[in-house]
Amino acid sequence: ELLQRITKEYTQNNYLWTGNIDTSSFRPDCRFTDPTLSFVGVDKFVSNVGSLVPIVEFLLGSKQSCQSKLLSIGNDAEGGYIETRWNMVGELDRLPWKPRIDVIGRTKFWYSGEENQVEEVCDGDSRPVQVYFYDEMWEIPAGLALLQLVTPAGTIANSNCASGDDVIA
């Protein structure tokens, strides 16, 4: 079930751009990290995204041309994480130099317990397995990814890997 919910974050919610996550997939004290920052708490994630979404929507312009492409997803039950490989692509049409954000990355969603099992909470209620650590990595250095904001589209490669990745619909 957690694997299906995480798949939907990309294929339906476009969460890398919208920040729209199923908060029930995450423990309230989940740690979120990416190459530029780290913080604790789903409420903090929602707050951070709430501040950024209006800016992102403005920069995307009227086309709102952006995608969170899911390239692969797998569950390492022994390791206790679900790993995704994705491509975040968007055209910032409001800026005169028309930059294109195009970053390939990987995220490990570390969860407690076994997939599809139910944990007992102290008060006797039960809940599905939840993510306690969100660990995002990019295939290019953070500085190069951020430089995409100030350079014309196509100037900086999105990955150090070969292209031609398939997308999960």
pLDDT for position 26: 97
Q: What is the pLDDT of residue 159?
A: 73
83-106 pLDDT, tens per residue?
999 999 999 999 999 999 999 999
User: pTM for the full model?
Assistant: 0.85
The pLDDT, as a whole number, for residue 158 is 83
Report the pLDDT value the prediction gives residue 42, as an integer from 0 to 100.
97
For 103-129, how does the pLDDT look when each residue is reduced to its tens digit (9 = 90+)?
Answer: 999 999 999 954 444 444 444 555 579
Note the pLDDT of residue 16. 94
Given a cut of 50, the residues of the chain with pLDDT beneath it are: 114-123, 164
pLDDT, position 88:
96
The b-or-e profile of 61-80 (16+ CB within 10 A means b, else e) is eeeeebebbbbebebeeeeb
Name residues whose C-beta falls within 8 Å of residue 153's C-beta, 6 or more positions apart in sequence.
91, 98, 99, 100
